[in-house]
Amino acid sequence: MDELLGRLRTQLQALTLRERLLLASVGALAIVSVLYFALIAPVLSARQEARSRATGAEQELEVVRRLRAEYTSASGALAGIEQRIQQGPSSNLLTTLESLARSSSVKIESMEPQAAGASDRYRETRVQLVLKGVTLSQTVGYLQQIEAAPQPLTIRNLRLRTRTDNPELLDVTFTVSSFEAVS
């Protein structure tokens, strides 16, 4: 090893000042390159990756906050509906719809019970109603009475058609659902 170092020293002493400066510059550049690629570049890359992950996490947190607010709102609405179902009177849906029609001066053409989805907690009753030759005002009044009924009712699949014989009158078809708690 001493022999190798001795030969290297001899070689360096044989170089001119210009060659020594050039060799020192290349050596310094090599050391700086090794330091940059071994230490600095990985730190900069890790820093950039951490920033990117932090930005992504902040975006995900904002989405979670928004979903939480939506969940809280939906949960509150559901609790209100469930309370209304529990406290609402349980009467025959057909009878309720007929009495609301009489008070709205609407003549029901037909009422047909429909198949409803099953649930462990609630029983749904569906009825399809057909109104023929009614005005828009009568239709809106009747629908408002259905929505305001003490029994929790939901209107689905509303279809309005103007009559060909009198464009002032409508033929209306819609489905009403009622829910009762299963005992």
Neighbouring C-beta atoms of residue 42, cutoff 10 Å: 11
Q: How many other CB atoms are found less than 10 A from the CB of residue 153?
A: 21
Alpha helices in the chain, H assignment, sequence order: 2-13, 17-35, 41-87, 93-103, 136-148
pLDDT for res 64: 96
Of the listed ranges 39-53, 91-105, 162-176, the least confidently predicted one is 91-105
**Mean of the per-residue pLDDT values of the chain:** 87
pTM across the whole model: 0.56
DSSP summary character for residue 16: -
Tokens of 103: 């008070």
Give pLDDT tens digits for 79-135.
887 777 777 666 778 888 888 888 888 888 888 888 777 677 777 888 999 999 999
pLDDT value at 11 more than 90: no
Q: From 115, 130, 118, select the one nearest 170 (Cα to Cα).
A: 130
**Both tokens assigned to 76:** 């509150």
- Are 149 and 134 in contact by the 8 Å Cβ rule? The answer is no
User: Both tokens of residue 130?
Assistant: 């057909």
Superfamily of domain 93-181: Ribosomal protein S6/Translation elongation factor EF1B (3.30.70.60)
